[in-house]
Chain A
Amino acid sequence: MKKIDIKKLPELKTSVGIHGSIKQKEVGGAGCMGVIFMIAIA
Chain B
Amino acid sequence: MLVGEMLGRWLKDEPAQGATKEAIESFGKRFRGSGAMAEVARELESLGADDAEGIMAVAERLLDRSEIFGAAMLDMVRAAAADPYFRPPLRRVHSQVHLGLLLIDNPKLSILLALTTPDALAEKRRSRNGPASITFSGQRSIFRFLKPGGAVVSFWEAPPIAEGFTAEANARCRKTGERRIADGETIRVDGRSQSFVIEHAVSDMVYVQAVTTAGAAPVSVEYDADSSSLAGASSTDEIGSRIQMMVSLLRLLDRRDAAPVIRKCLASPHFYVRWHVMREFLALDADLALPSLREMAESDPHPEVRAAATQTLAAFFSGEQDASNREDDLCRA
Complex Cα distance, B195 from A5, in Å, reads: 40
Complex Cα distance, B233 from A23, in Å, reads: 8
B240–chain A nearest beta-carbon distance, Å:
7
Once A24-B133, A38-B93 are accepted as A-B contacts, the answer to whether A5 and B197 lie under 8 Å apart by CB is no
Q: Does B250 belong to the interface (CB within 8 Å)?
A: no
Partner of A40, one of B96, B238, B315, B316: B238
Partner of B232, one of A17, A33, A34: A17
20 A-B residue pairs with Cβ-Cβ distance under 8 Å, sorted by A, are A1-B286, A4-B316, A6-B283, A9-B283, A12-B272, A14-B167, A14-B272, A18-B241, A28-B124, A29-B198, A30-B143, A31-B135, A31-B220, A32-B97, A33-B198, A35-B102, A36-B220, A39-B93, A40-B238, A42-B91
Chain B residues with CB below 8 A from A3, complex form: 283-286
B167–chain A nearest beta-carbon distance, Å:
4
Task: Give B196-222 as 1s and 0s: 1 = Cβ < 8 Å from A's Cβ atoms.
Answer: 111000000001010100000001101
Partner of A5, one of B244, B271, B283: B283
A4 B283 Cβ-Cβ under 8 A:
yes
Q: Does B168 belong to the interface (CB within 8 Å)?
A: yes
B195 A29 Cβ-Cβ under 8 A:
yes
Nearest A residue (CB) for B93: A38
User: How many A-B contacts at CB < 8 Å in the complex?
Assistant: 177
B88–chain A nearest beta-carbon distance, Å:
15
Partner of B167, one of A13, A29, A30: A13
Complex Cα distance, B195 from A29, in Å, reads: 7
> B interface, how many residues as a size bin?
35 or more
Complex Cα distance, B137 from A26, in Å, reads: 11
Q: Which of B266-288 contact A (CB under 8 A)?
A: 271-272, 275, 279-280, 282-287
Q: Which of B288-333 contact A (CB under 8 A)?
A: 304-305, 308, 311-312, 315-316
Q: Does B17 belong to the interface (CB within 8 Å)?
A: no
Complex Cα distance, B279 from A33, in Å, reads: 36
Nearest A residue (CB) for B245: A18
A17 B304 Cβ-Cβ under 8 A:
no
Chain B residues with CB below 8 A from A38, complex form: 93-95
